[in-house]
Structure 1
C-alpha cells in the first residue's frame, strides 16, 4: 500500500486525507479487505486530528464492521482504541471508558502490545479526568513502562497525565518530574507540538506553587512556539497563564489583551475549560480597572461555564461508576454460568464412567449393579435440577440486561425532560417579563394615534397662518404614521411573545385515545379558515388519502391539533404565495395522507406551493427562523410542531421539498407515548 505510506509522510492533513481516500478506493476496487481496514483506520485518525469527529467515528465504524466479518480481534482492539480517543476528546467519558475496556482484553489476548499500551494510556487519562486517581496512577504507570523506548507519543501522553494527577494532589515534586520527562522525550523526538504542551504544563505547575518567575519563563516560551506554529489550540493555554501573571503584577492592559485573545481562540476551538478560565480572568481584570459592567458580564459567563462543567463532571462520574458496577455484575454472572457448565460437564463424564462399570459387572454382581443404578438415577435427577437452575440463572441474566436497558432509556428521558422544563421556564419567564412593557407600548401607541387625530381636528378649527398650515399638517401626518408603525410592530412583537409562551408550554391535560383522521381534518378546517380570514380570495383544494380503520393514538388533542395546524398553515401560505406569482393559471392543492405503520401512525401533508430552497432546509425547524416578510410570521410554528412530535411524543417530523414545485411534511407518531412503553 504505497498510497498509505505517502499519506503518513504527507506534511499536511488535507493532503493526507486525499491520498488515503485514493488508497481506500483502490483497495475497494481490488477487493483488498486488509487494505480497506488500514485505510479506514487512518482516515478516522486524520479526521479526528482535524476535529471532524462525526466523520472520524463513521470511518472507525466502517472498519469495525469489516473486522467483525473477519473475526479479527486484533483489528477490533485498534477500532476500540480509535473510538475511545474520539469520545475522550469530545468529553463523552462513559462511552470512552466503555470502548477502552472492550478493546483492552482483545489487545492482551492477541498480543497487540502497542495497542494495549495506548489503551492503557487512554483509560488512565479518562480515570484522571474523572478524579479517580487510585485507578488512574497504576494504569498510566503501566502505559509509561510499556511504551518507554517503543512508542514515544504514548510515553509523552502518560507522563503528561501523571504530572497532571500529581499536580491536582499538590505533589509538586512528582508533578514537575513527569512534566520534565515529557518535555525531554518531546525534544528528543523533535515533536514541537508535544514540546509546547509540556512547556504549558510546566508553567501552570510553577504558577500553582507560586513560583512566578519560572512560570513566566516557560509560558513565554510556550506562547512563542505556539504562535510560530499557528497552533490555535495550545496558544490560549499559554496566553492565559501569562495573563494571570500580568494580573498578579497589576499590568491590567497586558492581562486584558492576552485574556481577550485567548477567549476568542477558545470560542473558535469550543474549549469549555479555556472559556471558563478566560472569562474569570477578564472579570477580575475589569474589576481591578473599575469597569464593573464588563466585570459583571464576564463573571456571569464564568459562572455559566463553571456550572456546565460541574454538571458534566457529575454526570460523567455517575455514568462511569454505574457502568463499572453493571460490568462487574455481568462478569460475575458469566463466571458463575461458566463454572456451572464445567461442573455439569464433569458430572456427565463421571456418570458415563460409572454406567460403563455397572454394565461390565452386571452378570456377576446384581446387588452392586442395582445399588449403582440407583446412584445413577439419583445423580440424573440432581443433574436435571442443576439444568433447571442453570435455565433460571440464564433467565435472570436476560432480565437484568433488559432492566439495565430500560433504566438507561428512562434516565435519558428524565434528563431530556429536565432540560426542556428548564428551557421552558426560562422562555416563559422572559416572555412574561416582555409582555407588560409591550402592552404599554401597544396601548399608548393606539392612544397616540387617536390623540393625533383629535389634534388635527382641533387645529383645523384654529386660525393658523397659511405659511404654517402645510408644515403643521405634514408634521401631524408624520407623527400619525410613526405611531401607526409603532403599533403595527408592537402587535408583531406581541405575536412573537405569545408564540414563545406556546413554545415553552408543556402539554397539559390527560392522555386519551384520539381519532387521527378526524383530528387531522379538524386541523385543516381551522387552518383554512384562518388563511381565508387573512386573504378572502384564497381558495385551495384538499385531497384526502386516509387509511381506513386507522385506529387511534394515545395523546393530548390540543398538542397534536396545534402541531398539524401549524403544518397546514405553512402549506396554505406556500400555495397562496405561488398563486400571487402565477395568477389564475395555478390551482392550489393540499394532500392529506394517513398510513397505518403498526405501532405507529404516519401523517403526511403535501402542497404544490413555492417549496423550500436547499440552502435554508437545515434551518427550517430552528426557533425564530422564518422566510416570511415582517409581520407575517414569527418563526416559531414549525419549531413548535417539531418539539411536540419529537420531544413530546417520541416521534419524528421530516420534510422533502423541491423549490418551486412542492413541499411534503411527514409526521410519525407512536400509538403509545415513549413513557407509556417503558416498564420499570
Structure 2
C-alpha cells in the first residue's frame, strides 16, 4: 500500500522557502541589476537570493550556483542573515535534487548559526528541514526526533505557523509507524490551523497525509475524498508536483478497490504530468503504482518491468519507502510468473526494509521519543508549579510580616487580622493541594515508565513472527505446488504396477511359450522400474511434507522439544536441499549429540530455520574450498550438542574456506554477504541472530580461521 509521501513534497517545496514562481521578466530584471551594479554589498546578496527564488523551480543547478555565490559574499561581509538564508536555500535545492547528504550538511550549519544567536524561530525551521530530509528517506526515528526538537523551539518562540508545519510532519510520521489514531488527531488539527492561517501548502499537505492514513486503514471513501480535495488545492496553487503525487494516491485507492479503469485513468494522468514537467521525484511512485495495477490485472511481466525500474531509481535516491514497495511488487509478480527464486529474493528484501521502516525497533524508538517529549512538557509544568509555589510562599511570608506589624501598631483592628489570617490559611490549603497534584504527576510518570518496560518485554517475544511470516508463506506455496504433480506420479506408478499384474494374470497366459520368456523379462524390468518410481516418489512426498511442516509460520509459542532430534532432523534436510543444486557435492556428516541435552523450551520452527541456514552456509564454504582441488582434502561438517550449567550449546563446525577477521566483524549485519551477486541476500545470518538473541534470549557466535574452517556456536537457556 502507498506510504504517505505527499506530505513530504508539499512541505519540502514551499514551507521553508516560500513560493517558487516560474522564470519570468523579474528574473531578467534581476540579472540586469546584478550585471550593472557589481558592488559586493548586502544589497547584492539580497538580489542574488531574489534571483534564486525566481529560478528554484525551473533551473535548480543555476539556482545552486547563485546560492553558493551569495553564501561566499555573505561570509566575506560577515552578513549573518545572508549566511543563514544562503544555507537554507542550498539545503532546499539539494534536497529537491535528492542530494540528501549535502542538504543535511548545509542545514546543520544553519542550525548551529541560529543556535549561537539564540534565534529559536529560525532554529526551529532548521529542525523542520532536517526532519523533512530524514522523512524523505523514510528514516522515521531521526525525523521524529528533529520534529519534536523543532516543535519545542517553535512553542518557546510562540510561532504558530512553524508549529503547524511541524505538527503536519509529526502526523505523517505517526501514520508511517502505524499509530493511525494519533496521526488522524494531529493531522485534523493541522488542517484546521492551516485553513485558519490561510496556508494552502499546509492545507494540501494535511489533506494528502490524511488521505494516505485512511488508505492504510482501508477506509476508501474517506481516502478518495481527501485525495480529491488535495488535488484541487494543489491545482489552485499551481503546485504540479503535489498534484501529481495526489493523482498517484487516487490511482492506488481505485486499484485497491478493483476499479482498474479509474486507476489507470488517474495513473496515466500522473505519468503525463511527470513527463511534461520532468518530475524525477514522482517518477518512481508513478511506475510503482502502474506496476501494482498491472499485477492486479494479471500482467506480471509489465509489473516486473515497471517495478524494477522504480526500484533502481529509488535505490539511487535512497528512498527506503519506495524500495520496500517495489520489492514487494517484484516478489508477487515473480511468484505469479513462476520464478520462485527471484520471488524469494525480493520477498526477503521487502521483509528487511519493512522491518527497518516500521518494525519493532522503529516503533519502540518513536514511542520513546514521543514519551520523552510528553515527559519534558510535564516536567516543565511541574517546574512552573514549583516556582509558583515558591512565589506564593514568599508572598505569604511578606503578608505575615505585615500582619505582625499591624498587630503591634493597631491592636484594635482584630477583624482585619482575622481576615488576613483566613487569606493565609486559604493559600496554605492551595499549597497542600499543589503538593498532592505533584505527587499524582510523579505517580503517573512512574506508571508510564513501568508500562514502557512491559511493552519492550512483550515486543521481544513477537519480533520473529513478523520477520519469518513472508518466508514461511513462500516456502509453503512452493511445497504445495510440488505436491500435486508428485501425487500424480505416485498414483500412476501404483496403478501401472497393478496393470502389469493384471496382464500377467490374463493376456500373458495366452502368449505362445516361445514369447512368454521375453515378455516375462520385459514385464519384470517394468515392474522393478515402477517400484523404484513409487519408492522415490514416496520419499519425495515425505520431503515435501517436511518442507510444509518446516514452513509453518511461527506464532511465537514455545514448545518443549527434544533438541538433539531437532538438530539431527534438519541436517539431512539441509544436505539434500544443497545437493539438489550441486549434484556432484559430497561431504562427510558427523553428529556428536550429548545425551544430557534433553527437552528444551523453544519455538521449534524458528530454531529449525536457524539450523538449516547454518548448515547450508557451511556446505557453501566446503564447496568453495573443494573447488580449489587441494591434495588430500576431505570436506566434513560436524555438529556437537552439550549441556553447560544452565545452558545448552549447539556447535556447527566445518573445515571449509573460513573467514577473515574483517568479514567476521560484519557477518551479522543485514545485507552483508560474501557470496557473488544473485547467490545470497545477506539476511540469513542477520535473521538467525535476531531469532536466537532476541527471540530466545540466547547467544550466537562465530569463530573462524581463513583457509582452516569455521565454528558457529548457539547457546540457549536450558
The TM-score normalised by the length of structure 1 is: 0.55
Q: Are 1:89 and 2:142 counterparts?
A: no
Q: Spell out the pairing of 1:533-544 with structure 2 (5 A cutoff).
A: none
Q: Are 1:327 and 2:391 counterparts?
A: no
Aligned match for 1:307, one of 352, 375, 388: 352
Aligned match for 2:262, one of 214, 230, 235: 214
Could you tell me how far apart the structure 2 residues matched to 1:40 and 1:101 are?
A: 22
Q: Are 1:73 and 2:120 counterparts?
A: yes
| Residue of structure 2 equivalent to 1:275 | 323
Q: Spell out the pairing of 1:221-232 with structure 2 (5 A cutoff).
A: 221-232=269-280
Q: Are 1:241 and 2:289 counterparts?
A: yes
Conserved in 2, the CA contact under 8 Å of 1:43 and 1:59? Answer: yes
| Residue of structure 1 equivalent to 2:340 | 295
Aligned residues: 432
**Cα gap change, 1:135/1:499 in structure 2, threshold over 3 Å: closer, same or farther?**
closer
Kindly provide the CA deviation profile for residues 83-142 of structure 1, in whole angstroms up to 9, marking residues without a partner as x.
Answer: 221222232323322332333354355453432332121112112112222222232223
**Cα gap change, 1:430/1:54 in structure 2, threshold over 3 Å: closer, same or farther?**
farther
**Cα gap change, 1:90/1:242 in structure 2, threshold over 3 Å: closer, same or farther?**
closer
Conserved in 2, the CA contact under 8 Å of 1:21 and 1:43? Answer: yes
| Residue of structure 1 equivalent to 2:544 | none
| Residue of structure 2 equivalent to 1:436 | 622
Kindly provide the CA deviation profile for residues 135-194 of structure 1, in whole angstroms up to 9, marking residues without a partner as x.
Answer: 222322233233348433322221111111112222222211111111122222232222
Conserved in 1, the CA contact under 8 Å of 2:98 and 2:317? Answer: no
| Residue of structure 2 equivalent to 1:29 | 76
Q: Spell out the pairing of 1:336-485 with structure 2 (5 A cutoff).
A: 336-359=382-405, 361-362=407-408, 432-442=618-628, 444-446=629-631
Secondary structure at 1:446 match in 2: coil
| Residue of structure 1 equivalent to 2:232 | 184
Could you tell me how far apart the structure 2 residues matched to 1:57 and 1:498 are?
A: 35
Kindly provide the CA deviation profile for residues 223-276 of structure 1, in whole angstroms up to 9, marking residues without a partner as x.
Answer: 232234343432232223323333334344433332333333233233334334
Secondary structure at 2:178 match in 1: coil
Unaligned runs of at least 5 residues, structure 2: 1-45, 465-606, 634-654, 675-718
| Residue of structure 1 equivalent to 2:248 | 200
Aligned match for 1:9, one of 50, 54, 62: 54
| RMSD of equivalent CA atoms | 4.4
**Cα gap change, 1:339/1:259 in structure 2, threshold over 3 Å: closer, same or farther?**
closer
Could you tell me how far apart the structure 1 residues matched to 2:347 and 2:673 are?
A: 26
Could you tell me how far apart the structure 2 residues matched to 1:341 and 1:67 are?
A: 29
Could you tell me how far apart the structure 2 residues matched to 1:334 and 1:363 are?
A: 44
**Cα gap change, 1:107/1:298 in structure 2, threshold over 3 Å: closer, same or farther?**
same
The TM-score normalised by the length of structure 2 is: 0.52
Q: Spell out the pairing of 1:508-519 with structure 2 (5 A cutoff).
A: none
**Cα gap change, 1:208/1:440 in structure 2, threshold over 3 Å: closer, same or farther?**
closer
Could you tell me how far apart the structure 1 residues matched to 2:673 and 2:103 are?
A: 30
Q: Following TM superposition, by how much is the alpha carbon of 1:21 offset from its aligned partner in structure 2, in angstroms?
A: 1.8
Q: Are 1:98 and 2:151 counterparts?
A: no
**Cα gap change, 1:430/1:27 in structure 2, threshold over 3 Å: closer, same or farther?**
farther
Conserved in 2, the CA contact under 8 Å of 1:156 and 1:185? Answer: yes
Kindly provide the CA deviation profile for residues 258-295 of structure 1, in whole angstroms up to 9, marking residues without a partner as x.
Answer: 23333332332333343343344334444444xx4x33
Conserved in 1, the CA contact under 8 Å of 2:285 and 2:310? Answer: yes
| Residue of structure 2 equivalent to 1:56 | 103
**Cα gap change, 1:306/1:272 in structure 2, threshold over 3 Å: closer, same or farther?**
farther
Conserved in 2, the CA contact under 8 Å of 1:40 and 1:60? Answer: yes
Secondary structure at 2:53 match in 1: helix
Could you tell me how far apart the structure 2 residues matched to 1:110 and 1:364 are?
A: 50
| Residue of structure 1 equivalent to 2:479 | none
Conserved in 2, the CA contact under 8 Å of 1:434 and 1:497? Answer: no
Q: Following TM superposition, by how much is the alpha carbon of 1:427 offset from its aligned partner in structure 2, in angstroms?
A: 11
**Cα gap change, 1:38/1:110 in structure 2, threshold over 3 Å: closer, same or farther?**
same
Conserved in 2, the CA contact under 8 Å of 1:262 and 1:278? Answer: yes
**Cα gap change, 1:44/1:349 in structure 2, threshold over 3 Å: closer, same or farther?**
same
Q: Following TM superposition, by how much is the alpha carbon of 1:497 offset from its aligned partner in structure 2, in angstroms?
A: 3.9
Which structure exhibits the higher relative contact order, with contacts defined as CA atoms closer than 8 Å and separated by 6 or more residues?
2
Kindly provide the CA deviation profile for residues 451-487 of structure 1, in whole angstroms up to 9, marking residues without a partner as x.
Answer: xxxxxxxxxxxxxxxxxxxxxxxxxxxxxxxxxxxxx
Q: Following TM superposition, by how much is the alpha carbon of 1:359 offset from its aligned partner in structure 2, in angstroms?
A: 4.5
Q: Which moved more, 1:313-322 or 1:63-72?
A: 63-72
Q: Following TM superposition, by how much is the alpha carbon of 1:309 offset from its aligned partner in structure 2, in angstroms?
A: 1.2
Could you tell me how far apart the structure 2 residues matched to 1:223 and 1:283 are?
A: 24
Could you tell me how far apart the structure 2 residues matched to 1:179 and 1:114 are?
A: 23
Could you tell me how far apart the structure 1 residues matched to 2:611 and 2:68 are?
A: 48
| Residue of structure 2 equivalent to 1:262 | 310
Q: Following TM superposition, by how much is the alpha carbon of 1:221 offset from its aligned partner in structure 2, in angstroms?
A: 1.7
Q: Are 1:166 and 2:226 counterparts?
A: no
Conserved in 1, the CA contact under 8 Å of 2:625 and 2:657? Answer: no
Could you tell me how far apart the structure 2 residues matched to 1:40 and 1:501 are?
A: 40
Secondary structure at 2:631 match in 1: helix
Conserved in 2, the CA contact under 8 Å of 1:428 and 1:504? Answer: no
Could you tell me how far apart the structure 2 residues matched to 1:162 and 1:364 are?
A: 70
Conserved in 1, the CA contact under 8 Å of 2:107 and 2:126? Answer: yes
Secondary structure at 2:218 match in 1: coil
